[in-house]
Structure 1
Amino acid sequence: MKLESLKEQVTAIIELSTQEARVKMQEICDLLQDQVSYYDWVGFYMAHETEPTLHLWSQAGEPTDHTIIPFGKGICGQVAVSNKNFVVDDVHAQDNYIACSIHVKSEVVIPLFKNGKNIGQIDIDSNTAQAFTTADERFLEWVNEQVGTIL
Structure 2
Amino acid sequence: MSFEILKPKVTAILMQNHISRDEKLFEICTLLKNTIDYYNWVGFYFRNGEKEELLLGPYVGAPTDHTVIPFGKGICGQVAVSNQNFVVPDVSDQDNYISCSFTVKSEIVVPLFVNGANIGQIDIDSHVLNPFTEADERFLEFVNQEIAKMF
Instruction: Find the residue that maps to 2:30 and give its secondary structure.
Output: helix
Matching residue of 1:98: 98
Matching residue of 2:4: 4
Matching residue of 2:75: 75
Structure 2 CA distance for aligned equivalents of residues 25 and 2 of structure 1? 20
1:32-71 equivalences under 5 Å are 32-71=32-71
Structure 1 CA distance for aligned equivalents of residues 95 and 102 of structure 2? 16
The number of equivalent residue pairs is 151
- Could you give the per-residue CA deviations for residues 56-79 of structure 1, whole angstroms, max 9, x where no partner exists? 111111111101100000000000
Structure 2 CA distance for aligned equivalents of residues 47 and 26 of structure 1? 18
Offset of 1:90 from its aligned partner?
0.4
1:8-27 equivalences under 5 Å are 8-27=8-27
Instruction: Find the residue that maps to 1:57 and give its secondary structure.
Output: strand
Instruction: Find the residue that maps to 1:63 and give its secondary structure.
Output: coil
Matching residue of 1:142: 142
Structure 1 CA distance for aligned equivalents of residues 15 and 133 of structure 2? 28
Runs of 4+ deviating beyond 2 Å: none
Structure 1 CA distance for aligned equivalents of residues 35 and 67 of structure 2? 24
Matching residue of 2:108: 108
% identity of equivalent residues: 58
Structure 1 CA distance for aligned equivalents of residues 74 and 40 of structure 2? 18
Which amino acid letter does the alignment assign opposite residue 41 of structure 1?
W
List alignment gaps of at least 5 residues for structure 1. Answer: none
Structure 2 CA distance for aligned equivalents of residues 135 and 31 of structure 1? 17
Instruction: Find the residue that maps to 1:43 and give its secondary structure.
Output: strand
TM-score (norm 1): 0.98
Structure 2 CA distance for aligned equivalents of residues 4 and 56 of structure 1? 28
TM-score (norm 2): 0.98
Instruction: Find the residue that maps to 1:98 and give its secondary structure.
Output: coil
